[in-house]
Amino acid sequence: MNGPLAGFTIGVTAARRADELIALLERKGASVIHGPAIRILPLPDDAELHQATSQLVSAPVDVVVATTGIGFRGWFEAAEGWGLAARLHRALEGVVVLPRGPKAKGAVRAAGLVETWSPESESNAELLQYLLRMGVSGKRVAVQLHGEPLPDFVNTLRAAGADVVEIPVYRWEPPADIAPLERLIDATLAGQVDALTFTSAPAASSVLRTAGPRYADLVEALRRNVLVVGVGAITAGPLVAAGIPVVQPARSRIGSMVRELALELPARATRLRIASRDMEMRAQAVVIDGELRPVAPAPMAVLRTLVAARGRVVSRQDLLAALPSGGEEHAVETAIGRLRTALGSPQMVCTVVKRGYRLAMEPA
């Protein structure tokens, strides 16, 4: 094997920085299925952002909240293209500038501005509490959004008497081609994905929405069979609301997410002792005594059913029901033959005459 994620199949839903994330995962040995769940509306074409920026420079604000570095930097780049960058800079000079985290702080400084304060937790909740303690009644507050509205944040400020100007940076839209996302969902439901990664809340919402009538099945798969990893608490929000457990790194960074994944996924692998050999399960492969062995979908479906039985006999009819495309009883025999070949040790799968098949291990 080569790398801690060798043999594991990981789904990537990201649009922005997907290449970077995929490269990090593949460097650790993972196979990747990419199904972008969103696409980003180019900023220079965003009439809504242009209008909000024009409104802000015409009536300057008292406070500006920078939620993300890429969003704040992109806002100034778009303003440069519209010929509004100098006016935007003047409008924000001397106001209270509150970046949510280090990257937003770096973008604020790159724009020639000075931050007033930034929360150590990098959370919107701590930022909101600071604003409320500071007092916002009668103040004009600009909130730079990033891809989706922040209704709780914005409404709380308005309830406290603030005049809130929402700056809709990087609005998300459905992907232009939905097919790759559909294929990723299909693979997840078929048990062919070990982990699913998310780098934005809109992507998480899009995956659940795209599942359509298969929503309940997808949620169940993500709860029980697939490791779900989100880059941070905001990203995890829609998933947590659906009752899906989400692993999050200590720092909201792509690199940290991949490192967390490389630790968590191997630790969760099913390990069995079969016919005096050690076997670890992957979604589309097994590891036999340290050797990675790919397994095709039909024999893998049979293997998962046999593993779930933990050494008990599984009937041909039950194994037939587990096959991705069904078929007749001879399809089970074909899948068993291919499974034995893939495992490289035929004695690991025992035939029980007139009853079915079982793994060569003692029942639990």
pLDDT in tens, 127-154: 999 999 999 999 999 999 876 678 899 9
Residue with tokens 């979908």: 297
pLDDT for the residue numbered 43: 65
Average pLDDT, the chain: 92
> What are the pLDDT digits (tens) for 203-243?
999 999 999 999 999 999 999 999 999 998 878 989 999 99
- Say what the alpha-carbon torsion angle 305, 308, 314, 320 is, to the nearest 10 degrees: -20
> What are the pLDDT digits (tens) for 342-351?
999 999 999 9
Region for residue 277 given its phi and psi (left: phi exceeds 0; alpha: psi -120 to 50; beta: otherwise): beta
d(CA 192, CA 207): 17
> What are the pLDDT digits (tens) for 81-119?
899 999 999 999 999 999 998 989 999 999 999 999 999
d(CA 176, CA 118): 37
Bridging pattern class, strands 285-288 and 291-294:
antiparallel
Q: CA angle, corner 185, sides to 181 and 187, nearest 5?
A: 115
Query: CA gyration radius for the chain?
Result: 25
Nearest to 113 by CA among 66, 52, 57: 66
- Structure pTM? 0.76
Q: Considering only the C-alpha atoms of the chain, give the largest distance between any 2 of them, rounded to a whole number of Å.
A: 83
d(CA 99, CA 360): 59
| Start-to-end C-alpha separation, the chain | 29
Give the pLDDT band (50/70/90) at residue 169: confident
User: Are 73 and 110 in contact, with CB atoms under 8 Å apart?
Assistant: yes
> What are the pLDDT digits (tens) for 237-254?
899 999 999 999 988 889
Residues 258-279, mean pLDDT to the nearest whole number: 94
Residue 363 in this model has a pLDDT that exceeds 80: no
Residues 8-30, mean pLDDT to the nearest whole number: 95
Give the pLDDT band (50/70/90) at residue 264: very high
Q: What are phi and psi of 59, to 5 degrees?
A: -135, 85
What structural domains does the chain harbor?
9-40+175-268 (3.40.50.10090), 43-170 (3.40.50.10090), 271-359 (1.10.10.10)
d(CA 85, CA 325): 58
Residue with tokens 């406070």: 63
